[in-house]
Each structure stands twice: as C-alpha cells, then as structure tokens.
Structure 1
Amino acid sequence: MDLHLATILIIAANVLVSLKGFSDDLFFERYKFGIGAIQAGQKERMVTSGFLHVDITHLFFNMFTLYFFADVVINWFGPSKFVIIYFISLIAGSLLALFFHKQEPYYSAVGASGAVTGILYAAILLQPNMQLGLMFIPIPVPAYILGIGYLLYSIYGMKSRLGNIGHTAHFGGAIGGYATTLLFKPDLIFSDTLMVILLALPILILFVLAKAGKI
C-alpha cells in the first residue's frame, strides 16, 4: 500500500514526539493529558498528549491501525479533510475524557488512540461492508460490526475502568470521526440511513448511561 504524504507526516510526528517522550520524562510529564494541569490552563495538552505514547508497542498499534484505514478516508475526501477529521477526533477524544473525568485531577492519558479511532470510524461509515480480518477470528468480519463492537467494548471499559487504557478518548474520537464524516458527506444520512443509525447506537447508549449515572 502506498502511503499518502499526509499519513506519512502524521506517523512521523507521532514517532518523533513519542521517541522524545520515551527518553525525556520531563517532556512526557509536561505534555501528557492531565486533568489538573488542563483545568489550570494548560489546554495545549489536549492536543500534545495525542502524539505521546507509553511505549513502542502502544505507538506501533496506533500507527498500524492508522496505516490500514487512512487511505480509505483520503480516497473519499482527500488529504486536507483527512487531516481535519484526524485532529477533530483527537480533540473530541480529549474533550470527552475531560468531561467524564473532570472530578479526577490526577487522571492522565497519552496516545493517538482517539484520533486513530476517529479515522477508523470515518472509514467504517464510508465503507461499512469492507471485510476486516482479525487475528483471533478465522473469517472476515464486516467493518460496521467491528466498529459497533469496539465502541460497546469501550463503554464496558469506561464503566469497569478496564486496564490502563483511555477508553473515553477512544469513544470521543469515534464521535468526532462520525460527526465530521457526516458533516463532509451528509448524503450518507439518506443513502445509507440504516448504517448511520446503527453506528450511532453505541454513542446514544453511552450518553443514556451517563445521564443515568451508570458511568
């Protein structure tokens, strides 16, 4: 697969910033997502944290996922709108994390997962029937089933505080990718109504649970 320059630049930025963070604890601590620091005025952390990673494995999996789905979005929208979706998803992930964890000043997170999940969800919305192969499932799975399942798992992760993973940022990123894709291509609402509704269901479930105080 030939990577577009826009994808290469985003991957390069993630690699360079992450490598700096691996070797410089002060840099990592200064630019990671931290509720207390953001509430104190360091709003730039909502963007910079999306380029830091915990370790090489964390970085690799995020960039590997981006590698697979970036071209779908670029082929539909072009590189400029791809970059817009990426950054809106990144910020949406940070905003949702800020909203859900605003009473937890020591909550912190890093990673491109929110932005990458936004690109993943945009790609699924654009091509819901593309077949995805998963390591632990021997047959290809339609993309929309993976997308819905992933967000339902993220709700479970948010509810049970599963692992040291920013499930909230993943979910916020998906909302950002979903909303921006529909903004750029509103005719999907009419041409693929069922898929638009299906992919919105986990988002609706999240906010119903939040309103009910279940998360």
Structure 2
Amino acid sequence: MNNYRPFAGMTPAVKVIIIINVIIFLLINTVGQKLNLDLVNILGMHLPQSPDFKIYQYITHMFTQQGLAHLFFNMFAVFMFGRILESVWGTKRFVIYYFVTGLGAAALHSLVSWYGVHNMQEQFYAFQSTPEPGLLAEFVRAHVSNPKFVSYAMQIVDQWNQYPSNTQFAQMGEEIFKNIIQAYQNTPTIGASGAVFGILLAFGMLFPNTELFLMFIPIPIKAKYFVLLYGAAELFFGLQNSVGDNVAHFAHLGGMLFGFFLILYWRKHSKRFY
C-alpha cells in the first residue's frame, strides 16, 4: 500500500483541474449545506440581467459540479482525454485551450440565453397589450416543466375563461409571466461541460482514426465520427429547446466551436500547431 499513487499517470494541469472540482464539490455538499450557504448560486454563472450576476462566475462556474454523476462524468472525460492532449501540447497550451473553450462555451450560452430572455419579454409585452388566457397558457406550457406550477397556472386560465371580464386574472397572469422570466434569468449554469466538449473535439481532430469503445455503442467508433455525432446531437437538442431540458446544449457547442477555431489558428501560425 505504500506504493499506491492515486494520481499516477495524470498530467499536471489535469490533476489540478480534477482536484479543484472535487474540493468545490465537497464544499458545496458539506460546508455549504451546514452553513446554509448556496455556493452553487454564488459560483454558478448567471446572465448579466440577473441581480446575482458577477463577472468572476465566468471562471468559477467551470469548476462547480453539484451532483456526483455530474462530477464523475466530466472529470472522467478530463482524465481520459485531457491528459493525452496535455502530453501532446504541453501544460501551458492545454491550459490555454481549456480556458478558451470553457469561456467560449459560456459566451455562446449567455448569448443564446439572452436571446431567450428577450423573446420571453416580448411575449410578456404582447400579453400586457392584449391580456388573454390563451397567451398565458401558451407561455406556461412553453417554459415551465414543474407540474405543480403548471397545474396552478392552468387553474387560473380555466377560471379566467369562465369569468373573462374579471381583470384580476390579467394581473395574476402578469405575475406568472414575471415569475417565470425571473426564474429563467436567475438560474445559474454550472459545470465543466463546455471545456470537456472542447477536449473531445480536440481529441477527434488530433486522433481522428482512434477507435473508441463506448458503453452505449456496442461497436468501436472512430473518434472523428464520435465527435461529429455528439456535435450533431447537441445542435439538434439545442434547437429543440424542449421544456424541462436543463442541459446547456449551446454551451457544449460553444466549447467545440471555439476549440475548432483555436486549433485551426495554431495549425496556421505554428510550425507544429501543438
């Protein structure tokens, strides 16, 4: 047991990334809970429209994982693929790549989310101009997955249809609109997934013909095809924008997109891009 080295085979930056993520995960689920301190809200990335927004969250959200499965799968990917990239590129270039893809993912996610908030506000203004129970019902179904809240809102819609001249229902509808928009704005985004998808993209570009064996695919698949399939899936689900889908699909795409252009830049401006 004296020769046991838990971090054997890890490259320096990968080791530090995993350690930081594990420490923050433990703080969230121990100290944070005991002190009733919402570290996810403090460290997670908020939209600029949110009163909880802080500029440092663009960095801290990348090291914040709340659930054990979330932590494990992200860090497993960093360990499996990140150490190979760091060995090829060197620590400095790998760290640059990790932060560029992570911040790029955050930027694209923020832009898409800002557009989403803008559309929600436009729908709210339309409702204020012409309050109708149908508009309220449509908005709730499009943006709310909580069954209790949906049931509450639909009860108001039903009562409003029965008593259309009662102006109190329009006021209640406005409050529902505001609550949904505020909840959307104030929900933090956490996780290293943007940088992780950047790592997957880089691995696919550097080692395109390497065969991967995945749990959910019973046959080996080349890295380049795996990356293309994953990217296509993220684009599809991102455009679907399904109610209750809490995955930041465009953040994943942002990590891949910024990683792609950074690798192209290195290839063009370096004798050996790595």
Question: Does TM-score exceed 0.5, indicating one fold?
Answer: yes
Count how many residue pairs are aligned between Structure 1 and Structure 2: 188
* 1:38–1:127 CA distance, 2 compared to 1 (3 A): farther
Superposition pairs of residues 1-215 of structure 1, within 5 angstroms: 2-23=9-30, 24=32, 25-36=37-48, 42-103=54-115, 104=117, 105-162=185-242, 163-186=245-268
Give the TM-score normalised by the residue count of structure 1: 0.80
* 1:39–1:116 CA distance, 2 compared to 1 (3 A): farther
Q: Give the match's secondary structure for 2:268.
A: coil
Per-residue deviation, 1:187: 7.9
Greater relative contact order, per chain length (Cα 8 Å cut-off, separation 6+) = 2
Give the TM-score normalised by the residue count of structure 2: 0.64
* 1:108–1:159 CA distance, 2 compared to 1 (3 A): farther
d(CA) in 2 for partners of 1:182 and 1:20?
38
d(CA) in 2 for partners of 1:52 and 1:184?
29
Q: Structure 2: 5+ residue runs without aligned partners?
A: 1-7, 118-184
Per-residue deviation, 1:179: 1.7
d(CA) in 2 for partners of 1:21 and 1:42?
18
% identical equivalent positions? 29
Q: Give the match's secondary structure for 2:9.
A: coil
Per-residue deviation, 1:183: 2.0
Greater Rg by CA: 2
Q: What do you get for the CA RMSD once the two structures are aligned?
A: 2.1
Q: Structure 1: 5+ residue runs without aligned partners?
A: 189-215
Q: Give the match's secondary structure for 2:221.
A: strand
Q: After superposing the two structures, state which structure 1 stretch, 86-95 or 14-23, moved more.
A: 14-23
Per-residue deviation, 1:40: 7.3
Letter in 1 for 2:250: T
